[in-house]
Amino acid sequence: MAEEVRVSDPQAEDAGEAIHLPGPSFIPVVTAFGLTIAVVGVVLSWILVALGLVITVIAIARWIRETRQEISELPLEH
């Protein structure tokens, strides 16, 4: 087996790139809730379908806006 090699140089750079993870958000849960209401509405009432689709569209629009904002804040080094 290969032995592990450690670099003890304090000026050595970290390997790889920094990983960007999005912050916590409730938007995916709201989107799933809207879709659930829409699917249940297919069986019960067209009003529920409309309500569920409105909730879903608004949640997706906010999700896209938040994602674009986070991406615009990333450094342009790449």
Q: What is the pLDDT along the chain (78 residues), one digit of tens a residue?
A: 557 766 566 666 666 666 777 888 999 999 999 999 999 999 999 999 999 999 999 999 999 999 898 888 877 775
The pTM for the full model equals 0.69
Q: Kindly provide the b/e burial profile for residues 43-53, where b requires at least 16 CB atoms within 10 angstroms of the residue's own CB.
A: eeeeebbeebe
Q: List the chain domain ranges.
A: 27-69
pLDDT value, residue 78:
56
pLDDT value, residue 44:
95
pLDDT value, residue 48:
96
